[in-house]
Amino acid sequence: MAIQRTLSIIKPDATRRNLTGMINDRFEKRGLRIVAQKRIRLTEAQAQRFYEVHAERSFYRGLVAFMTSGPIVVQVLEGENAVVLNREVMGATNPADAAPGTIRKDFAESTEANSVHGSDSLENAAQEIAFFFSTIEICP
Ligand code: GDP
């Protein structure tokens, strides 16, 4: 299995409840290394661009409003099979469907306010990492 990088976002519902450390602990305990991390506040234009793929969905406007409602922590996670491993650590989009012990099961407030984002493919991971980080900000 190859070493991969994936983009993770700790969402505003989680930063508001001061859960950054608890969530990072889940990543590190499962062997994901945080090789870049910064706390930022997205502008509306940035959130719209990041979630452009969902522009036609009914939840798009609400999602953009939610993602700009407070600080987020964007991070690059590195490890064996990091893309799929992070999706496992996160759990299903809707916390009601998430497996026990996952971040979303334990911390998410709703399908929208579900505490974390994680890239869903290696190709998207590369694009999403480049959206937030320059090469010199990533320190393996
Ligand atoms: P993810 O890859 O598990 O984050 O899920 P998606 O890529 O399908 O959706 C992106 C984000 O949009 C999710 O993490 C949620 O924050 C939000 N979202 C997805 N589906 C719904 C929905 O049916 N209703 C609402 N309100 N938000 C949703």
Q: What angle do CA 98, 37, 47 make, to 5 degrees?
A: 70
What pLDDT band is residue 95 in, cutting at 50, 70 and 90?
very high
List, for residues 121-130, the tens digit of each pLDDT value: 999 999 999 9
Residue 20 has pLDDT above 80, yes or no: yes
pTM flag (> 0.75): yes
- Per-residue pLDDT at 1: 74
Residues 6+ apart with CB under 8 A from 94: 111, 114
Residues with a CB atom less than 6 Å from ligand 1 = 59, 62-63, 93, 111-112, 114, 117, 120
List, for residues 53-86, the tens digit of each pLDDT value: 999 999 999 999 999 999 999 999 999 999 999 9
Q: How far is CA 23 from CA 17, 103, 125, in A?
A: 11, 7, 19
- Interval between CA 111 and ligand 1 midpoint (Å): 6
